[in-house]
Structure 1
Amino acid sequence: MKSIVIKNAYGLENTTVENQDIPTIQDNEVLVKVKAMSLNQLDLMVAKGAFATKLPHTLGSDAVGIVKKIGTHVTKFNVGDTVSTHFVQSWQSGVLKASDSQSSLGTSVKGVFSEYISLSENALVKAPQNLTVEEASTLPIAGLTAWETLVNFGNLKAGQTVLLQGTGGVSIFALQFAKMIGAKVILISSNDEKLKTAKSLGADEVVNYRTNPDWQDKVLKITKGNGVDLALEISWAGINKTITAMKTSGKIAVIGMLGGTEVQLSVFDLIQRSLTIKAMYVGSKSSFEEMNNAIEVNNIKPIIDRVFSVSELPEAIAHFEKSKHLGKVVLIF
């Protein structure tokens, strides 16, 4: 079978497709024939050595496929089921524990970008029935991060306002979930074409932060000086602008660090506004299942920018790394 691996040395140029043996399964495991996978910034970070992962290493956290074989102790799945991988395998419900991060697919343990994968049944969820395998493959990290942020952390309600940054997978999912809830969405990006698309997807207001460098003032004007209830911070470098755009007692969810890993915060502004900042680490399996149910009931369709064949892996990585996409980038064998 084919697998996408990083070997010899870190660097995207060392990402390759190689042949591996089809895995065998233990009594509590499931053998899945992978049909579709989606790329995340996390995959690029692993390939570049951000986690000092031992090489060679199979990449990937997001995959969907068909169950081909089940172990004798498996009770939750049957042969023929369409299933999705669950990123933090041991995080079944409740709050994240320190040990849970050690079970994260594609980082702490072997990834899932392979034609066949064997995982514990706890590391899988049934895919929403209204989605194709390509659409379902976008859910494990981007979809669940957006859901966890808006629903379980943000407790977003109809009539409230959420600020979204960029048009990547998490932001576009957050846009779709926020409109499902009945919230108002303000989305910022540096690309007018992407802003136009975001508007067509339901964004109430859009702001180009390149032509409006003081975009936080624009957000305050849109909200009549009140600020937003919830913000998804993807840059980190601009966190103080986000703080300025917040409503008193508002919440900021840090979902990315595209602007770097270190920043100076205005603690005075945090205290004066009584703001909450939380770093998001995707979500639990029970949250994943809750999200999938909402996707089915509301017939939400993930936004896929492009689908690449694994034979086009360098082109897919380049397209993703240069942020040419809106929504998700998917790979198929």
Structure 2
Amino acid sequence: MKSIVIKNSYGLDNVSTEEQPIPTIQSNEVLVKIKSISLNQLDLMIAKGALGTKLPHVLGSDAVGVVEKTVNSISKFKVGDVVSTHFIQSWQSGNLQASNLLNRLGTDVPGVFSEYIALSEDSLVKIPANLTTEEASTLPIAGLTAWEALFNVGGLKEKQTVLLQGTGGVSIFALQFAKSIGAKVIIISSSDEKIEKAKLLGADEAINYKTNPDWPKKVLELTKGAGVDLALEMSWAEIGKTTTVMRFGGKIAVVGLLGGANVNLSVFDINQKNLSIIGVQVGSKASFEEMNKRIETHDIKPVVDKFFPLSELSEALDYFDKGKHFGKVVLTF
């Protein structure tokens, strides 16, 4: 079988496909034939060495496929079921525990970018009935992170306002989920073309932060000075701008570090506005299943910017790395 591997040294140029043996399932595992995978910033970070991952390493956290083989002890799935991977495998429900972070797919253990994978039934979730395998492959990290940030961390309610940064997978899922409950969405982007696409998906307001570097002033104008109830922080580099647009008692859910891990931050707004800044680590399997129900009920369709065959892996990585995408990028086996 083919697997996507980073080896020898870090860098996207060192990511390639190689032949590996089809895994043999153990007593608690399911063999899945993978149909589609989707890219995340996490994959790029690992390939570039940001996490110091030991090489060689099979990349990937997001994959969807068809159950090909089970053992007698498996009760949740049967041959032919279409399933998605669950990133933080041991986080089944409740609050995240430190021990849950020891077996994250593609991070602390080998990834799932292979033609076949063997995982425990706790590490798999049935996909929403209204989605294709390609669409469902976008859910494990981007979809679930958006869900967790909006509802379990952010507590977003109808008629409240959320600020979204950029138009990558998490932000676009958050836009769709927020509109499904009747919340107001303000989104910022550096591309007028992407802003127009976001408006077509229901964004109430959109700001180009390159042509409007003082975008916080515009956000405050749009909220009549009150500020936003919730912000999904993607950059971290300008977290100070985010704090200025928050309402009193607002929440900032940190879901990305695209601007780097370090920043000079004044605590004045945090203290004076009684703000909460909370890190988000995707979500539990119970949350995944809850999200899938919402996707089915509201017939929410993930936004896939572009599909690539596995033979165009290098092109897909380059396209994703340069931030050309709106929503998600999917590869098919």
**What TM-score range do you get, normalising by the shorter chain?**
over 0.9
**Correspondence for 1:149:** 149
State the percentage of identical aligned residues: 69
**Correspondence for 2:200:** 200
Give per-residue Cα distances to partners, 1:92-137, cap 9 Å, x unaligned.
0111111111110001000000000000000000000100000000
Give per-residue Cα distances to partners, 1:57-81, cap 9 Å, x unaligned.
1000000000000122111101000
**What secondary structure, in the 3-state scheme, does the structure 1 residue paired with 2:286 have?**
helix
How far apart in 2 are the matches of 1:107 and 1:141?
A: 12
**What secondary structure, in the 3-state scheme, does the structure 1 residue paired with 2:67 have?**
strand
How far apart in 2 are the matches of 1:219 and 1:189?
A: 13
**Correspondence for 1:305:** 305
**Correspondence for 1:293:** 293
Give per-residue Cα distances to partners, 1:186-219, cap 9 Å, x unaligned.
0000100000000011000000000110100000
Aligned pairs (5 A) from 1:1-333: 1-333=1-333
**What secondary structure, in the 3-state scheme, does the structure 2 residue paired with 1:129 have?**
coil
Give per-residue Cα distances to partners, 1:270-308, cap 9 Å, x unaligned.
010000000110000000000001101110000000000
How far apart in 2 are the matches of 1:139 and 1:304?
A: 11
What RMSD, in angstroms, separates the aligned Cα atoms of the two structures?
Answer: 0.6
Q: How many Å apart are 1:31 and its aligned residue?
A: 0.2
Q: Which runs of 4+ in 1 moved over 2 A?
A: none
How far apart in 1 are the matches of 2:119 and 2:70?
A: 10
Unmatched segments (≥5 aa) in structure 2: none
Aligned pair count reads 333
Q: How many Å apart are 1:140 and its aligned residue?
A: 0.1
How far apart in 2 are the matches of 1:156 and 1:270?
A: 19
Letter in 2 for 1:211: T
How far apart in 1 are the matches of 2:177 and 2:200?
A: 15
**What secondary structure, in the 3-state scheme, does the structure 2 residue paired with 1:240 have?**
helix
- Normalised to the residue count of structure 2, the TM-score between the two structures is 0.99
- Normalised to the residue count of structure 1, the TM-score between the two structures is 0.99
How far apart in 2 are the matches of 1:74 and 1:10?
A: 38
**What secondary structure, in the 3-state scheme, does the structure 2 residue paired with 1:178 have?**
helix
How far apart in 2 are the matches of 1:313 and 1:213?
A: 35
**What secondary structure, in the 3-state scheme, does the structure 1 residue paired with 2:119 have?**
strand
Letter in 2 for 1:182: G
How far apart in 2 are the matches of 1:156 and 1:53?
A: 35
**What secondary structure, in the 3-state scheme, does the structure 1 residue paired with 2:331 have?**
strand
